């Protein structure tokens, strides 16, 4: 075991393993439902757990602003505050700072930004971001990074790589000085520049993090370049450390990433799409708002065993959506998360039985128009 990760089986580049945390194991490849504010939208945590989720992702930026790190610490930490007994991964908040606050400015020591809530000026260092996540009681903490949007110049991408490495080293050194059961993961950068991606990956590997995220991807670059960067990362990252592709949610892309050695994923896609009536099924996507489902008595997915599919018709789900009933978001989210988590269970099993390629081909055959 290294960095709290063990590999149980491999099938080509695909790996099945276990990430060990203070709040229990995570069998990989795994998918983390997004709970930015400490809640998976439309569901209780008991429902999320019953669906088979092994961990959730919370957003340290949002929680830092509201209700505040000290409030959560005083109430027993994030697990107790939100009543979630399993592992929690918190991101560094870097992406949210850059995307939500156009006035964010990267300095040598950290990032200065204005709160998107009230404009309050704030400054976060790599050390402060570690401290926030330690106070939350995160099981997996992410180091503060800088990403270059796609497309970016070589100069801007190189600057992001240099800053990310410098901040990563500071975060790695700082976490050694604090008391925490959480594990700190580094985030590689480099955009789709092969040489810079290799440089960033090698520099962070040298820092010996407990796990690694491949950052700065899935933001508009060609899919061929995304997969090329994953292959470069696969060749450099330590084999015995977990790998995480941040924000990747399309099933076809997830399968390609698993084939290239990625162990962990998160995305808002299944939950956000559920709330807009876009549902994933074993026979392709369904837009439940479509008029043709108004009198359709069939279950959403006849091959699905979730509560929604066992009990309700497409006609009823359309009715709920059209009437803007809260139950629409609940039932749709139950189904979409079940769909994702069930696929991940099948992926893990297929790697164990060395049949991942067969599963991949079978799933891709059901996808239509590039949708999951």
Give me the pLDDT at residue 113, please. Answer: 87
Determine how β-strand 30-33 pairs with β-strand 24-28.
unpaired
| Tokens at 71, concatenated | 């409030």
Verify that 306 and 242 share a domain, yes or no.
no
Domain boundary among 236, 267, 298: 267
Q: How confident is the model at residue 140 (pLDDT cuts 50, 70, 90)?
A: very high
Q: How confident is the model at residue 1 (pLDDT cuts 50, 70, 90)?
A: very low
Verify that 369 and 244 share a domain, yes or no.
no
Q: Report the domain count for the chain.
A: 2
Q: How confident is the model at residue 311 (pLDDT cuts 50, 70, 90)?
A: very high
Classify residue 327: in a domain, yes or no: yes
Mean pLDDT, range 235-242, rounded to an integer: 97
Give me the pLDDT at residue 369, please. Answer: 46
Domain boundary among 240, 267, 294: 267
- The rounded distance, in Å, linking the Cα atoms of 325 and 319 is 9
| Tokens at 34, concatenated | 């997004």
Classify residue 166: in a domain, yes or no: yes
CA dihedral of residues 206, 207, 213, 218 (deg, nearest 10): -60
Asked about 266 being catalytic, the answer comes back as yes
Verify that 188 and 302 share a domain, yes or no.
no
Mean pLDDT, range 273-285, rounded to an integer: 96
| Tokens at 82, concatenated | 């939100």
Domain that holds residue 35: 5-267
Mean pLDDT, range 328-354, rounded to an integer: 98
The domain that holds 186 is classified in CATH as 3.20.20.105
Whether 275 contacts 41, CB under 8 Å: yes
In terms of Cα–Cα distance, which of 249, 237, 193, 240 is closest to 213? 237
- List the catalytic residue out of 11, 253, 266, 301: 266
Classify residue 138: in a domain, yes or no: yes
Verify that 195 and 289 share a domain, yes or no.
no
- The rounded distance, in Å, linking the Cα atoms of 114 and 165 is 24
- List the catalytic residue out of 91, 139, 193, 263: 91
**Helix/strand/coil (H, E, C) string of the chain?**
CECCEEEEEEECCEEEEEEEECCEEEEECEEEEECCCCCCCCCCHHHHHHCCCCCEEEEHHHHHHHHHHHHHHHCCCHHHHHCCCCCEEEECCHHHHHHHCCCCEECCCCEEEECCCCCCEEEECHHHHHHHHHHHCCCEEECCCCCCCCCCCHHHHHHHHHHHHHHHHHHHHHHCCCCCCCEEEEEECCCCCHHHHHHHHHHHHHCCCCEEEECCCCCCCCHHHHHHHHHHHHHHCCCCCEEEECCCCCHHHHHHHHHCCCCEEEECHHHHHHHCCEECCCCCCEECCCHHHCCCCCECCCCCCCHHHHHCEHHHHHHHHHCCCHHHHHHHHHHHHHHHHHHHHHHHHHHHCCCHHHHHHHHHHHCCCCCC
- The rounded distance, in Å, linking the Cα atoms of 330 and 266 is 20
pTM of the model as a whole: 0.96
Q: Supply angle C-alpha 224, 26, 214, rounded to 5.
A: 30
Mean pLDDT, range 104-121, rounded to an integer: 89
Mean pLDDT, range 149-169, rounded to an integer: 96
Q: Which residue's structure tokens are 């964010």?
A: 104
Classify residue 175: in a domain, yes or no: yes
Classify residue 348: in a domain, yes or no: yes
Classify residue 31: in a domain, yes or no: yes
- The rounded distance, in Å, linking the Cα atoms of 190 and 149 is 10
Give me the pLDDT at residue 372, please. Answer: 43
The alpha carbon of residue 337 and the mean position of all alpha carbons in its chain are separated, in whole angstroms, by 13
Verify that 197 and 80 share a domain, yes or no.
yes
Mean pLDDT, range 221-239, rounded to an integer: 97
Verify that 143 and 185 share a domain, yes or no.
yes
| Tokens at 361, concatenated | 């081909």
Give me the pLDDT at residue 103, please. Answer: 73
Classify residue 272: in a domain, yes or no: no
Report pLDDT digits (tens) over 295-309.
999 999 999 999 999
Verify that 257 and 288 share a domain, yes or no.
no
Give me the pLDDT at residue 93, please. Answer: 80
Verify that 212 and 64 share a domain, yes or no.
yes
Proportion of the chain above pLDDT 90, given as a percent: 90
Whether 184 contacts 169, CB under 8 Å: no
Verify that 188 and 124 share a domain, yes or no.
yes
Asked about 91 being catalytic, the answer comes back as yes
Verify that 218 and 300 share a domain, yes or no.
no
Report pLDDT digits (tens) over 97-109.
767 667 788 999 9
Domain boundary among 267, 301, 323: 267
Give me the pLDDT at residue 116, please. Answer: 83
Give me the pLDDT at residue 371, please. Answer: 46
Q: Which residue's structure tokens are 């994953």?
A: 230
In terms of Cα–Cα distance, which of 125, 103, 128 is closest to 113? 103
Verify that 256 and 311 share a domain, yes or no.
no
Give me the pLDDT at residue 101, please. Answer: 65
Proportion of the chain above pLDDT 70, given as a percent: 97
Q: How confident is the model at residue 339 (pLDDT cuts 50, 70, 90)?
A: very high
Verify that 18 and 146 share a domain, yes or no.
yes
| Tokens at 130, concatenated | 């570690």
Classify residue 351: in a domain, yes or no: yes
In terms of Cα–Cα distance, which of 270, 231, 273 is closest to 251? 270
Q: Give every CB contact of residue 288 below 8 A, 6+ residues apart in sequence.
A: 277, 278, 279, 300, 314, 317, 318, 321, 332
């Amino acid at each position: 075991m290294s960095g709290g990760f063990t590999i149980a089986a491999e099938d080509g580049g695909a790996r099945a393993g276990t990430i060990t945390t203070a709040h229990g194991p995570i069998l990989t490849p795994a998918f983390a439902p997004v709970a930015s504010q400490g809640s998976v939208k439309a569901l209780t945590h008991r429902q999320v757990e019953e669906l088979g989720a092994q961990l959730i992702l919370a957003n340290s930026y949002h929680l830092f602003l509201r209700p505040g790190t000290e409030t959560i610490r005083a109430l027993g930490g994030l697990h107790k505050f939100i009543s979630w007994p399993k592992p929690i991964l918190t991101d560094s908040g870097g992406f949210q700072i850059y995307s939500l606050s156009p006035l964010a400015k990267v300095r040598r020591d950290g990032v200065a930004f204005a709160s998107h809530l009230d404009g309050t000026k704030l400054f976060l260092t790599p050390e402060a971001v570690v401290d926030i996540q330690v106070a939350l009681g995160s099981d997996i903490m992410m180091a503060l990074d800088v990403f270059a949007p796609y497309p970016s110049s070589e100069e801007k991408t190189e600057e992001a790589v240099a800053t990310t490495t410098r901040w990563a080293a500071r975060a790695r050194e700082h976490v050694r000085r604090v008391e925490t059961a959480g594990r700190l993961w580094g985030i590689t950068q480099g955009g789709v520049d092969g040489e810079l991606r290799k440089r960033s990956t090698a520099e962070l590997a040298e820092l010996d993090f407990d796990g690694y995220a491949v950052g700065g991807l899935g933001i508009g670059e060609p899919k061929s370049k995304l997969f090329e960067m994953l292959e470069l990362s696969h060749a450099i990252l330590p084999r015995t450390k977990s790998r995480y592709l941040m924000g990747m949610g399309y099933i076809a892309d997830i399968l390609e990433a698993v084939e290239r050695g990625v162990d962990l994923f998160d995305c808002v896609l299944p939950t956000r799409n559920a709330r807009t009536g876009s549902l994933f099924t074993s026979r392709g996507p369904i837009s439940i708002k479509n008029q043709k489902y108004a009198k359709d008595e069939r279950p959403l997915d006849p091959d699905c065993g979730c509560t929604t599919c066992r009990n309700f018709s497409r006609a009823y789900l359309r009715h709920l959506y059209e009437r803007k009933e809260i139950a629409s978001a609940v039932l749709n989210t139950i189904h979409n998360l079940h769909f994702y988590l069930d696929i991940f269970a099948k992926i893990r099993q297929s790697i164990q039985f060395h049949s991942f390629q067969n599963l991949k081909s079978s799933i891709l055959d059901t996808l239509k128009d590039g949708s999951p």
